[in-house]
Amino acid sequence: MATPSVSSFCFVILLCSAAAEALEGGFSVELIHRDSPNSPFYDPSETPFQRAEKAVRRSIARIRGLRSNDEGEPSAGISRIDGEYLINITIGTPPVSIMAIADTGSDLMWTQCQPCDVCFPQVLPLFIPRASSTYEQVHCVSDKCHLFEKTFCNTQGFTCQYSAVYGDQSYSEGNISTDIIGLSTLMGSAVPFPGMAFGCGFNNDGLFGIHTTGIVGLSAGNTSLVSQIGGNEGTLFSYCLVPFFSTSKLTFGRPLGPTPNSPFEVSGSSGPGAVTGNMIIDSGTTLTWLPSDLYRQIEPAVSAAIDLPRAKDPIAGYSLCYTSSGVLKGAPSITVHFTGADVVLNWYNAFFQVKEDITCFSFAPTDDLPIYGNLAQMDFRISYGALLFQPTDCAD
């Protein structure tokens, strides 16, 4: 079944007009790095290198979370520690603010709701469904219910319920519901989208952190925020990550150009699972994790090109580190060859200063699902739908 268009969601003419105009022209919202000054997680007492170390440790936790997922589903890859980027949305009438993890590796959008049987602590108030005049529960026999994975029918109320378990055994369970989702643009105006389906969680646990309320899935799945906004026009969104710990832009409804790239395929991966589309592009992972056999070919070439003293890995997340501060002198030019496209990286896409005098290669080996991390994505506008990379100064 095709995802409904924006117009088919509309029941208030004013809201439909605002949403349609916004999609036609495109609009941008803030994508808040968890360590930026605009983030509720920001700790001014930490040094940039302490933040860098924690980012790497979160990246390691995320790849381990994927490894522990027996079903091997990319959508179950959320880190046990809060994701790298946050997005502020509103739900309901009157609107209630939600601060959620923005995750390109999953599709379900959910938030904690009252009454809550089991909820992790959060600073923001719980969303109260009965307080929203536009809130509706989804019936278990409706087509919308069947768009979601792992749904079942509550035989008492015949409502559609979901169950999401992530790679680290964090989980959310609740009702599939619909309501107005609001996105605040960079210009300060609000863009409402009526009838958006989301999970209203009443049984949720995991190490999500008190400053988040849930997850906003940004994958290509039918139930993600971007797929629902895109409707029959397709999943059109892009983001441009500012280097390191700042606020970036997430843009909806504005394609970059006419030439799509093919799905990511990792060349040189000799394992039995080396098939087209075998790599996740993930905003929630810092490092880029390559198949071990491919990494073993790359590291010697990188090492041979850099004439600097080797340094001991300070975090156990890298295997190639140098004594260097600031710009890494002699860093080789690295080009990532995807099917149908070559992406030429800047030096800071491939090397990361983790201590005052230590800079490390931000690629690492894995025997599990490869991940293209957010350091390699900085200063590229990355468009989904037709997957495109466009070199950009994202700070502009």
Give residue 201's pLDDT band: very low, low, confident or very high (50, 70, 90).
Answer: very high
Give residue 337's pLDDT band: very low, low, confident or very high (50, 70, 90).
Answer: confident
For residue 181, what pLDDT is reported?
Answer: 94
Higher pLDDT, 98 or 62: 98
Kindly tell me if the per-residue pLDDT of 61 is higher than 60.
yes
| Cβ pair 52, 286 in contact under 8 A | no
Give the three-state DSSP class for 366: strand
Supply the DSSP symbol for 115.
S
For residue 327, what pLDDT is reported?
Answer: 74
Distance CA 248, CA 38 (A): 11
Give residue 83's pLDDT band: very low, low, confident or very high (50, 70, 90).
Answer: low
For residue 42, what pLDDT is reported?
Answer: 74
- Beta bridge partners, 154, equal 159
Poorest-pLDDT segment among 89-98, 112-121, 330-339 = 330-339
**Backbone dihedral angles phi then psi of residue 336, each to the nearest 5 degrees:** -95, 120
Give CA separation, 23 vs 32, 46, 108, 157, 192, in Å. 22, 39, 21, 36, 11
pLDDT, one tens digit per residue, over 242-286 is: 876 677 888 876 554 443 333 355 544 434 344 456 788 887 788
Specify the DSSP element, H or E, that contains 361: strand 358-361
Higher pLDDT, 92 or 352: 92
Task: Domain 6-41+82-252: give its CATH superfamily.
Answer: Acid Proteases (2.40.70.10)
Give CA separation, 383 vs 221, 236, 279, 280, 309, in Å. 15, 7, 16, 14, 38
Percent of the chain at pLDDT > 90 equals 26
Kindly tell me if the per-residue pLDDT of 126 is higher than 90.
yes
Distance CA 52, CA 39 (A): 16
The ranges assigned to domains in the chain are 6-41+82-252, 280-387
- Beta bridge partners, 183, equal 89, 191
Own/partner long-range contacts of 161-166 (Cβ < 8 Å, ≥24 apart): 162/108, 162/110, 162/199, 164/76, 164/108, 164/110, 164/199, 165/76, 166/65, 166/69, 166/76, 166/77, 166/78, 166/80, 166/106, 166/206
6-41+82-252 shares its CATH topology with 280-387: yes
Where in the sequence numbering do the catalytic residues fall? Answer: 103, 282
pTM for the full predicted model: 0.73
Kindly tell me if the per-residue pLDDT of 302 is higher than 70.
yes
CATH architecture observed for domain 280-387: Beta Barrel (2.40)
For residue 137, what pLDDT is reported?
Answer: 94
**For the residues 229-240, what does the mean pLDDT come to?**
66
For residue 256, what pLDDT is reported?
Answer: 46
Distance CA 256, CA 382 (A): 9
Q: Which residue has the tokens 């950009």?
A: 392
| Cβ pair 390, 380 in contact under 8 A | yes
Distance CA 16, CA 22 (A): 10
Helices vs strands, H then E, count in the chain: 7, 23
| Cβ pair 205, 214 in contact under 8 A | no
**Averaged pLDDT of the chain:** 77
Give residue 20's pLDDT band: very low, low, confident or very high (50, 70, 90).
Answer: very low
Give residue 202's pLDDT band: very low, low, confident or very high (50, 70, 90).
Answer: very high
H helices of the chain, in order, are 6-9, 13-25, 48-67, 143-147, 225-230, 292-305, 347-350
Q: CA torsion sign, 35 to 39 to 41 to 46?
A: positive
